[in-house]
Structure 1
Amino acid sequence: MQKKIAIALTIILTTSGLAHASSEGAWNALSAKANGTCIGQSRMISPEASAPVVFDDSVGKIAIMLRGTITKGKSPVNLVCLYDKKSGKASIEEFRWLGR
């Protein structure tokens, strides 16, 4: 009986470290895809993009803040982009920080 428990514990301990965490390369690729999609859809001229804010899997979204101009000579605008990790689609809306 003790031998069976020892074997079971060994199996649990040796496989518990094999969680299905994504590699750094996979996260970088996902961030690059979200960035590219958001920047492309924004139609901004040389926008600045924030670091991606990755929400947990229950939400399934990545948020990216963009700042730039849409046409030459215009004032900069601020956009927030929500990228859907499953569908690969993005939704973009303008925002004003605290009413400005």
Structure 2
Amino acid sequence: MKNSLPLLLATLFAAQAHASSDQAWQEHDARLLSACKAVSGLKDVRPAGQPVLFDDSLGLTALVLEGRYPQPHMKNQRGRELCLFERKSRKAHIAEADTLLDARKP
């Protein structure tokens, strides 16, 4: 029992060492938003909520964006996109998501 205390303390400190700092998460969020805006097809694009982080085994962060369609035939209509951000490669992928958060449906 006496020898288990150092092992327990080492385990606790090792777990804390792997936790990300607030600054690291702020940098992640800035990269996420920048990458998502860069591939978005919307104008005046902004986040429509908070990022959703998937498990590290998948390595993705999702973010819903909202803005306005720039095409003349869309007549400045509001739109939404879902951005999936690969944390390792820092690549962003966009899909139309106008019906993702449709308030008219129960």
Partners of 2:38 and 2:50 lie apart in 1 by: 16
Matching residue within 79, 93, 96 for 1:94: 96
Partners of 1:42 and 1:27 lie apart in 2 by: 22
Summarize the Cα distance change of 1:58–1:23 in structure 2 as closer, same or farther, 3 Å threshold.
same
Within-5 A mapping of 1:1-100:
5-6=1-2, 8-18=3-13, 19=15, 20-49=18-47, 50-71=49-70, 73-97=75-99
Q: How many correspondences in the alignment?
A: 95
- TM-score of the aligned structures, taking structure 2 as reference length: 0.77
Unpaired runs of 5+ residues, structure 1, are none
Task: Tell me which amino acid in the other structure corresponds to 2:62.
Answer: A
- TM-score of the aligned structures, taking structure 1 as reference length: 0.81
Instruction: Let me know the Cα RMSD of the aligned residues.
Output: 2.1
Unpaired runs of 5+ residues, structure 2, are none
Partners of 2:30 and 2:10 lie apart in 1 by: 31
